[in-house]
């Protein structure tokens, strides 16, 4: 299954777009619609700039990773809107967290009400509830509950004359990321 225009628009709404590379709150270089090296090429680096069209193309390519993660985690058919909502969540929290989530467990046993309610579990960053995440989860839950859905968008072709960069290094172990987030949270508590 592919993410529909509705799902893509939801992700774009909450990720926002930056056409110049920046270090996010935990120091991860990011560009476009939340693209990081963990999602695949290109690797954002200081000073990097892209066009709006490049940001759109990168997002569509990045979605393949998250669509695959959702498809691999769920064991029952999803509506287009359910798939789009789960892909948006997966894009934001990562494939590992998504696969282990209560939302996936409830969805897989057929508890759609419980699965819909479980979106709100993912509203914290650095141990603190963030209103932006509360709002994003509400939008994802609403989409998940909506019946039907629109048709998926095909990925853009990769031009044959563009050399593809090497695959990114494996992601840091989860423990390191948690330690970094805990450190950042403790710094904010001191102020």
Tell me 116's DSSP state. Answer: H
Structure tokens belonging to residue 90: 């997966």
Nearest to 120 by CA among 135, 105, 137: 137
Contact 140, 85 (CB under 8 A): yes
Tell me 18's DSSP state. Answer: E
Give 168's Cβ-side CA count (13 Å radius): 15
d(CA 50, CA 33): 11
Tell me 4's DSSP state. Answer: B
The phi, psi pair for 139, rounded to 5°, reads -65, -45
Helix (H, G, I), strand (E, B) or coil at 22: strand
Q: Please give the positions annotated as active site.
A: 15
d(CA 1, CA 7): 12
Structure tokens belonging to residue 96: 């590992």
């Amino acid at each position: 299954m592919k993410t529909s225009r509705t799902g893509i628009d939801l992700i774009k709404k909450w990720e926002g777009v930056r056409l110049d590379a920046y270090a996010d709150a935990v120091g991860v270089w990011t560009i476009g619609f939340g693209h990081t090296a963990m999602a695949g090429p290109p690797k954002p680096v200081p000073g990097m700039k892209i066009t709006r069209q490049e940001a759109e193309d990168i997002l569509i390519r990045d979605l393949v990773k998250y669509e695959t993660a959702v498809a691999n985690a769920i064991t029952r058919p999803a509506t287009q809107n359910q798939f789009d909502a789960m892909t948006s969540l997966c894009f934001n929290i990562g494939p590992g967290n998504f696969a282990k989530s209560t939302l996936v467990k409830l969805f897989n046993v057929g508890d759609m009400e419980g699965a819909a309610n479980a979106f709100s579990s993912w509203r914290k960053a650095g141990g603190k509830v963030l209103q932006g995440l509360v709002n994003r989860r509400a939008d994802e839950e609403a989409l998940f509950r909506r019946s039907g859905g629109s048709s998926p968008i095909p990925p853009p072709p990769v031009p044959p004359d563009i050399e593809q960069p090497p695959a990114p290094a494996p992601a840091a172990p989860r423990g390191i990321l948690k330690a970094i987030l805990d450190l950042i949270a403790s710094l904010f508590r001191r102020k």
